[in-house]
Every structure is written in structure tokens, then in C-alpha cells.
Amino acid sequence: MEQRGTRIALGVWVGLVLLFLYVPIVVICLYAFNKSNVQSWPISGWTTHWFGSAIHNGDMQQALWLSLKAAALATVAAIALGSAAAFGVHRFRFFGREAVSFLLVLPIALPGIITGMALNSYFTFWKLNFGLLTIVIGHATFCVVVVYNNVLARLRRVPGSLAEASMDLGADGWQTFRFVTLPSISTALVSGGLLAFALSFDEVIVTTFTAGAQNTLPIWIFGQIRLGQQLPQVNVVVFLILAVTIIPVALAQRLTSESGILRTE
């Protein structure tokens, strides 16, 4: 359909954009092997020594563990609340259903620093101890909308007649949900959940205000950047995370065909 020339021009553009996207990431991976702890271009010497020291770094392990726990819990909360909201908005027309979308998108549209400082003083007011719980609440605020949008978009595509047919055939509400509705939205939940996990796992700004003395992985990374002594350890960790996540990200993509950002479905 597009002319050959246009296609080639577009292809070149795509190549350039990928270069733009990946040069910094290649730089991160290269400096994981940097001999010097102070980073400068070009790299003066190579070593794999940082891999050992990063993996055995107890602070890093704890931060990673906390980040995994927080992201998992925030994702679970987002799936529960986000899909409930999506079902509610999808099934029932009511005054203000637009307002629900607006409400849920707010935490991602308003600057994180505002969410952060608001929650920080609010938690202090309620005398809630800063820790895993406060981190999860902070992350859940902006994760809910990711699941909500994914599920809502999927529900709009699944014909309502399927559920009706199920009920007509004698299934009760639960059975219909379990055997008809859930399978039809499951991939939307997977891709929404994965993106919610990613957003939580890498969040810095809200976490700065809600983590208290605990270090999540990004906060640990910021500490390392401040210190400027063990920077290649950060590169090693990022390198390893990329190596591990490329598989689930590719898998999730295979489950689904199209995408928005809040809606990878």
C-alpha cells in the first residue's frame, strides 16, 4: 500500500529511534564491566569483578526483595481494584461513570511528587509506620488505572451475549464469571498486571516519600549514584534485571496482539 520509498524512509526512522532508545542501555551494560569505579568515556579497563560484588551485596539483596514484594502486592491490589472498577463501569451506565475514569487516571496524570508528599503527610497524620504497607499503597494508586484500562477495553470487545448465554444455560453468576468472563479477560489481566509490576518496580519519586528508612531497589540505586563509589554494581543489577525480564515481557507480548500504554491489550 505505502510506496516503496515511504516504506524505506520509515524503516530508517525506526532504526534511528531504536538506536536512540538503546544506546544508553548499551552504555549501562558496558559499564557493568568497567574496571574503574568512577565512570568516564572511553572505558579504561575491563573486569567481571562487579558481578560477584553486586550479587553478594546484602543491601542490594534486601532492596531487591523489598521491591519484588512491594511490586507483587501493588499488582495484586491493582488487579483486584482495577478489574472491579472496570466491571462496574462496563456493566452499568450511571451518572458519573466518566468521573470514575477521571479519578483513577489522576495519580498517573498528576506529578508523582504531589502524590508522594500528600501521602507522606497523610500517613504521618494517621501515625502509620512507613514500610512495606505504605510503599504498596503509594504504588497501588497509579497501578490501578493500568489494570482498569486493560480490563475495560477487553470487556468492551467481549460480546455481552456470551454471559447471557451462559446464564440461560443454567450457570449461576459465579460459574459464568469463572468459566466465561474470566477466561475472556485473562490475557488482559496478565498484560495489565505485568505493566503495573514494571511501573511499581522502577518507581522512585512516590517511593522516596513513602518508604521511610527502607530501601527499595531504585532507592538503593539512587544511594549508589550519590555515593559514586560502587557504581558498576548498579550497572550489573540493571543488566541482570533486563536479562531476566526480557522473557516475561516477550511472553506477555505473545499472549496479546495490540497495545496502548495503560492498555497493553
Partner 1 sequence: MAAGLDAAQGLSPARRARRRVGGALFRRPWLKGLALLAPPVGAFGFFYIAALVVLFVSAFWTVDAFTGELVHRWTFDNFRTLWQESAYRTVALRTVWVAAAVTVTDAVIAFPFAYYMARVAKPRVRAALFVLVLLPLWASYLARIYSWRLILDHDGLLNWSAQKLGLPAPGIEYTNTAMWVVFSYIWLPFMILPVYASLERIPQSYLEASRDLGARGFRTLRRVVLPLALPGVVAGSIFTFSLTLGDYITPTLIGGTSSQFIGNVVYDAVNQSSNLPFGAAFAVVPVVVMGAYLLVARRLGAFEAL
Partner 2 sequence: MNRRVMLVAVAAAVGLSFPAAGVTRANGGTLNMIAWEGYTQPQWVNPFEKQTGCKVVPKYAGSSDEMVTLMRSGGGSQYDMVSASGDASLRLIYGHDVQPVDPSKIPDFKNFNKAFQSPPNNTVGGKHYGISLQWGPNTLLYNTQKVTPAPTSWSAIYSSKYAGKITVPDNPIQIADAALYLMKTQPSLGIKDPYELNQSQFDATISLLKKQKSLIKKYWALASDEIDLFKNGDAVIGASWPYQTNTLIADKAPVKDLIPKEGATGWLDTWMVSAHTKNLDCAYKWLAWISTPKVQAEQAIYFGETPVNSKACAWMDKLSKGSCEQYHANAPLAYFKQIYFWKTPIADCGNGQKNCMDYTKWQQAWTQLKG
* Interface positions, 154-193, toward partner 1 (CB under 8 A): 167, 172-174
Residue 38 binds partner 1 (CB under 8 A) = no
Q: Which is nearer to partner 1, 48 or 98 (CB)?
A: 98
Angle between helices 231-255 and 217-227 (to 10 degrees): 150
Nearest to 108 by CA among 221, 178, 196, 47: 196
Q: How far is the CB of 156 from partner 1 (least distance, A)?
A: 9
CB 135 within 8 A of CB 69: no
Contact flag: residue 60 with partner 1 (CB under 8 A) = no
Smallest gap from residue 186 Cβ to partner 1 (A): 18
| Residue 236: exposure state from Cβ atoms within 10 A (0-12, 13-18, ≥19) | buried
Torsion region of 130: left, alpha or beta (phi above 0 gives left; psi -120 to 50 gives alpha): beta
Residue 61 lies near partner 2 (rule: CB under 8 A):
yes
CB of 69 or CB of 97, closer to partner 2: 69
Cα(187)–Cα(150) distance, integer angstroms: 9
Among 30, 43, 51, 62, the residue binding partner 2 under the rule CB under 8 A is 62
* 115 contact choice in partner 2, partner 1, none (CB below 5 to 8 Å, kind-dependent): partner 1
Return the residue of 49, 91, 157, 178 that touches partner 1, per CB under 8 A.
91
Q: Under 8 Å CB-to-CB from 139, ≥6 apart: which residues?
A: 70, 71, 74, 199, 200, 203, 206, 207
Of the two residues 64 and 196, which places its CB atom closer to partner 2 in the complex?
A: 64
Among 31, 33, 50, 130, binds partner 2 (CB under 8 A): 130
Q: Of 87 and 184, which has the nearer Cβ to partner 1?
A: 87
How far apart (Å, rounded) are the C-alpha atoms in residues 72 and 68?
A: 6
One of 52, 88, 160, 183 touching partner 1 (CB under 8 A): 88
